[in-house]
Amino acid sequence: MPSNVFLWLSEQRYLFNFIKSNSLARTMASRFVAGETIETAIQAAQILNTDGTKVSLDSLGESVASRDETAAACDEIVRILNAISDTGVDGNVSLKLTQLGLDIDRALCIDNMHQILTRAKELDTFVRIDMEGSAHTERTLDVFAELHGAYGNLTGVVIQSYLHRSKSDIENLISRGARVRLVKGAYAEPPELAFQKMKEIRASYVVLMKLLLDGGTYPGIATHDERLIQQAVEYVGKNDIPPERFEFQMLYGVRRDLQKKLRRQGFNVRIYIPFGCNWYPYMMRRLAERSTNVAFMVGSVFKEMLSRN
């Protein structure tokens, strides 16, 4: 099934309402989404922490439509920060600016972020601003620049390797000393804005990865692509870049074998733990990233189901 079909499905609310009560769908989601509450996310984080794996908690949601919804999202993120502090979890927080009103009013979004980052500063907890579709790229970086000026590396941002503009953005962020998470990119973008072929996306990723490993401030190398991970491992080895200078990042429930392998090799690994009621759009976007994810996700669920019998 083409990736753009999954992206379209991610936007169909009526389908979400239909499958939310489907036991098979919920079983599949439970492998890749840590429940619907902060408590279940914290439990998942504590399990991952047992072998030194760090986490980032991500309350699923984006593109809110009202000020009340942004206030609720802001309160939820502050509760996550408090939960991390109260439980001693080795983790931080990931969020999207559209959760906090970027599409409603920039000033509202900034005010919400000030509330979050003020609490994060009190608790000494890092907050990552995720990147969304290209319609939000410039605005996200603009807001990030303002917040980074006020809070420094208490906050960081994400850059997507498939966008043509990303090399310039990376160079700018390195010059600021900002913390960057590098991903391939999961949104459907036109050829004039983004590379379309995986070979080109990977090539761009490698260029940006090397820039970050050479001059970045504790970058997050976020990928499940073994070829890219191996290139990173070889690059840091050849250039005497110590493991404490960066970390690998992966998604909850995806390539758990690879996560453990990297930890055994002495690398820092952080797992993004998504949770919340809005798991359906998240799942569809993950399936859209690679067609092989469909068989992988379904196969993983059935194997675990069979092992219980």
Distances (CA, A) of 24 to 19, 102, 226, 307: 9, 35, 29, 16
* Residue 211 and residue 174 in contact, taking contact as beta carbons nearer than 8 Å: yes
Tens-binned pLDDT, residue by residue, of the chain (309 aa): 445 544 544 455 555 555 566 665 666 667 788 988 999 999 999 999 999 999 999 998 766 889 999 999 999 999 999 999 999 999 999 999 999 999 999 999 999 999 999 999 999 999 999 999 999 999 999 999 999 999 999 999 999 999 999 999 999 999 999 999 999 998 879 999 999 999 999 999 999 999 999 999 999 999 999 999 999 999 999 999 999 999 999 999 888 889 999 999 999 999 999 998 776 666 666 666 545 455 545 544 444 445 444
194 and 294 inside one domain? no
152 and 12 inside one domain? no
Q: Which helix (H) or strand (E) holds 186?
A: none
Specify the pTM: 0.88
145 and 228 inside one domain? yes
68 and 96 inside one domain? yes
Domain extent, residue 187, equals 41-275
Q: State how many domains the chain has.
A: 2
113 and 199 inside one domain? yes
SS3 133: coil
Q: Match 């310039």 to its residue by tokens.
A: 168
Residues 6+ apart with CB under 8 A from 228: 202, 205, 206, 209, 221
111 and 97 inside one domain? yes
- pLDDT score of 300: 43
Residues annotated as catalytic (active site), given as ranges: 130, 181
Q: What is the CATH number of the domain that holds 257?
A: 3.20.20.220
Q: What angle (nearest 5°) sits at the alpha carbon of residue 105, between those of residues 101 and 106?
A: 90
Q: Where are the beta strands (DSSP E) in 108-148?
A: 127-129
